[in-house]
Amino acid sequence: MMHRPSIRKEREPTIALINIVFLMLIFFMVAGTLSAPKNSNVTLVKTQDLEGAEPDHALVIMEDGRLMHLGKPTDVSGFLAATQSPMGTARIMPDQNTPALRMITIARQLRAAGAQRVVILSEKARQ
């Protein structure tokens, strides 16, 4: 009788793969930062791949259209006065349910009052 040679498959180095996955996990845990929105009543718009900016001195647009700055009700002129207008960049932080027309109106008012750029702050979407 003839014996067939047994075919052995080489095992993949799973330990090395597991080590790489854990190192990547630790890297992203250390490198990533999480922060809550300044105003807990605002649900931010979700976007991806946009330049981030700190929400300090941002004009918050509430869901019902009210404007807030540093936790106090305001309007566009009050916001500009508090941020020592004329300014280069005005930051607005809209609630997720804010109508786009309301954001456009406020952005136009800010531009007309002297802001060179209007930046919309949002929450980065999880992938």
Determine the pLDDT at residue 53.
45
CA distances from 121 to 10, 11, 89, 94 (A): 52, 50, 12, 7
* pLDDT tens for each residue of 51-68: 544 455 788 888 888 888
Give 65-121 pLDDT, tens digit per residue: 888 888 888 888 788 777 764 567 888 888 888 888 888 888 888 888 878 888 888
- In the prediction, which pLDDT does 95 show? 86
Token look-up 């106090």 returns: 72
Question: With b meaning 16 or more CB within 10 Å and e meaning fewer, what string describes 60-75?
Answer: bbbeeeebbbeeeebe
SS3 45: coil
| pTM of this structure | 0.52
CA nearest neighbour of 105 among 68, 82, 71, 76? 76
Q: DSSP readout, 47-102?
A: ESS------TTEEEE-TTS-EEETTEEE-HHHHHHHTTSS-SEEEEEEBTT--HHH
Give the whole-angstrom CA distance, residue 10 versus residue 49. Answer: 42
Q: What does the pLDDT read at residue 70?
A: 82
Helix (H, G, I), strand (E, B) or coil at 3: coil
